[in-house]
A and B are shown apart, each in its own frame.
Chain A
Amino acid sequence: MLKKANLPARLSLLSAATALCCFAAACGQTGNDSETGAASKEDNTLVVLNYGKYLDPSVIRMFEEETGIDIKLEEYESPEEMYTKFTSGSIRYDVVCTSDYMVERLISEGAVAEIDFSGFEYYENLNPEIIRSAQIYDPESKYSMPYFYGTLGILYDTNLVPAEATESWSILWDETYADSIIMQNSVRDTFVPALRLLDYDINTEDQGQMEEAAALLIEQKPIVYAYYVDETADEVAAGNAAMALVYSGEAAYAAELNEDLAYTVPKEGSNLWIDSWFIPKNSAQKENAQTFLDFLCREDVAMVNFEYVWYGTPNLKVMEQLDEETLADATIFPTEEILSNCVVFKQFSQDTTDRYNYLWKMLKSE
C-alpha cells in the first residue's frame, strides 16, 4: 500500500514535469514565467470544493457581488473522491466542505489550517450543541465549521411499504420488495444497515464482524435494484423503486417531489453525519476563505442555502424563522430519541479502509 505522505509530493512532481515539458518545448523557455503569471491571475479567485448540489448558485452570485471575490466551484460525489481530488494537488483548493470522518482524516494528516473564528461576525448563529457533537472529529472546534447535519435512513413509498415495516433495517432484505430497493454506492453508508442488523458498531474494525456484514450484503444483492449516489432520491420519487437507503436531506428533497414518500430511521440505530467546512493549510487565500465561511453563517444566506439543500441546519437564526411544521419534521431535524441512537463515523485505519474497499469490490463482483 502506498504511503500517503509521499503521494502529494510525487503527484506535484508529475504535473510539474508534464507542464514543464510542454511549456519548455512549446515556447523554448523555462516554465518559471508561466508560473508567476498563473499566480497573479488567480489572486482574487476562491476555489471552493463541495459536494454536488450542496450550495445554492445564487449564494455564490451574492458573495461575488458583495465582496468582489470570484468563486470557482469544484464538485465531487463521495468523500473518497474528494480525498483523491484534494491530495492529487493538481488544483489548490481554498475552502472545502466534506463529511465528518474525512475532516478527521485530513486533520490527522495535518492538511487543515486553523480557522480564526474571533473575526467572524455571524459564527454565533451556529447551534453550540451541533458544534459540540462535531467535537468527535474536531475536539477543539478550531479546524472546522458545521454546515449541515442529518441521519441515514430509509426513504420509502407509503403506497407500497407500510410505515411500521421500516422500523427495522430488515425490510431491506425482504424479498417481497425484490428489484425495488436502492442502496448507496458508497462503502460506509451501505455497510451501516448490515452492521446494525448484526448489532455491531458502525465504526467496527473487527475483521470477522466486517466479513459477516459483507456476507449479509452479498445475500441482499439479488434483490437490490441499483447502487446509486446522487440520483437515489429522484429514482424513488419517479417510482423506480419502493425504498432506498438515503441521507435525511435527500429524503426531504424527495418528499417535495412526491407527496407519498416518507422517511424513517430504523430502531437499530444509524449514522449521524455532520458536514463541515475547513480551510486547507496550503490555501493562499485564507482571509478570503474566512470571509466566505462567515458569509455562509449570515442568516439570510443560510436561509437561501437551507431552502436549496433541505438538510438540518445548525444555524439558530434560520431555525427561528422556520414554521413549526418544518421544525417538527423529523426528516430535517432529527428528534432527541433518534439522535441518541445514532453515531458519527470515525475515520478507519488504513488497513481497515483497505479491507472495507476489498469487501466492497467483492460485493460488487458477485
Chain B
Amino acid sequence: MYRLKRQFLAGPYLLWIAGFILLPLVFILYYAFTADGSFTFSQVAAIADPVHRKALFLALKLGFFCTLVCLLLAYPLCLILSRFHFRHQSFVVFLFILPMWMNFMLRILAWRLLLSNSGLINSLFELIGIGHVKLLNTQLSVVFGMVYDFLPFMVLPIYNSMARINKDVIEAARDLGANSATVLIKIVIPLTLSGIISGIIMVFVPALTSFVISDLLGGGKVLLIGNVIEQEFMQGMNWHLGSGLSVVLMIFVVVSMALLNTFEKEGGSAAVW
C-alpha cells in the first residue's frame, strides 16, 4: 500500500513527461517523416541543401568556440577558487551564479545596447582614440553573448567536481615529488573529467540549438540552424521541413553527448544528464 502511494506521487511528473515531452516528440517525428500525408525522408534529407548545411555548420562552429572559450575561462577560475583559500570564497562563487537570477533575454538586450554603433563601448573607444569598431551583429558578438549566458553552466559542474577532490591525494602526489604541472595533469584534470564533460554538454547543447541570442546579437545577419527551424515554423508555415531539420539537430545533440560519454566512462563518476 505504502509503495503504491509513493508511485502515485510520481504521477504528475509522468504526466508532464508524457504530455509535454514525449507527445511533442512523437508529433515532431510524425511531421518530419511525412509530406502530403505520405511517408518520406525528404524533410530530413533537406539538411543537405546548401543553405541548411551552411546554417548547421555555422551553429557547430559557433557552438564549438563558445564551449572552448567557456572551458578556458572556467577551468582556471575553478582552480583558483578551490585551491587557494581566501576569505569570502563562497561569496565569489555566488557572484558567478548571481547573473542567473536575472532573465537571460534581458541581459542579452542590455549587451545589445552596450555593443551598438553608438553604444557605451563604442563611445568609450572613440573617446580614447581607438575609433569606431564594428561590434554588434557579427559572429563574434553572437559567440560573446553565448559565452556570457552559458558560462555559469561550465563553472558549476567543474567547481563541484574540484571541491570533491580529497586534499590528501594532492599532498601525496607532492610528497612523491610531483611538481604543480604534474599534479594538474595527472591528478586534478583526470579527477575533474566528469565535471568537464558535464560542463561541455551543458554549454555546447544550448549553444548549438540557440536562436534567440543569434537573433538579438546577430541583427538577423547570423543564420544558425535554430533560426532556420524557427523561421520554418513561424514564417514559412512549413512544419514538415522545420520538424525534419529539428530531427537532424537532435541527432547531432545525441551523437555529441554519446561521444563525450565514452570519455566519461574512462573517467569514472556520474554525469549530470
Which A residues contact B (CB, under 8 angstroms)? 1-4, 6-7, 14, 17-18, 21-22, 25-26, 78, 80-81, 83-84, 87, 179-180, 185, 187, 221, 224-228, 235, 238-241, 354, 357-358, 361-362, 364-365
Contacts and interface: CB of A to CB of B under 8 A. Distances in A.
A240 B137 CA distance: 12
B236 A365 contact: no
B235 A17 contact: no
Contact of B219 (A4, A80, A87, A225): A225
28 contacts: A2-B35, A2-B239, A18-B19, A78-B235, A80-B236, A80-B237, A81-B234, A84-B233, A84-B234, A84-B235, A87-B237, A179-B117, A185-B220, A224-B221, A225-B117, A226-B137, A227-B219, A228-B220, A240-B117, A240-B119, A357-B231, A357-B235, A357-B236, A361-B51, A361-B223, A364-B223, A364-B227, A365-B51
A179 B27 CA distance: 42
Q: Mostly helix, strand, loop or mixed at chain A's interface? A: helix
Interface in B24-63: 27, 35-37, 51, 54-55, 58
Contacts of B58: 365
A175 to B, nearest CB: 14
Given A21-B23, A364-B227, A221 B221 contact: yes
B261 interface: no
B238 A1 contact: yes
A232 to B, nearest CB: 11
Interface string B213-231: 0000001110100011001
A312 to B, nearest CB: 27
Contacts, number: 94
Interface residues of B, number: 36
Contacts of B228: 361, 365
Given A2-B238, A80-B235, A354-B236, A14 B27 contact: yes
Given A21-B19, A240-B117, A81 B219 contact: no
B233 to A, nearest CB: 7
A290 to B, nearest CB: 29
B221 A226 contact: yes
A364 B19 contact: no
Contacts of B55: 365
Contacts of B235: 78, 80-81, 84, 187, 357
B174 interface: no
B241 to A, nearest CB: 9
Given A2-B36, A83-B237, 12 more contacts: A7-B237, A25-B18, A80-B237, A84-B235, A221-B221, A226-B219, A226-B220, A240-B119, A357-B231, A357-B238, A364-B220, A365-B223
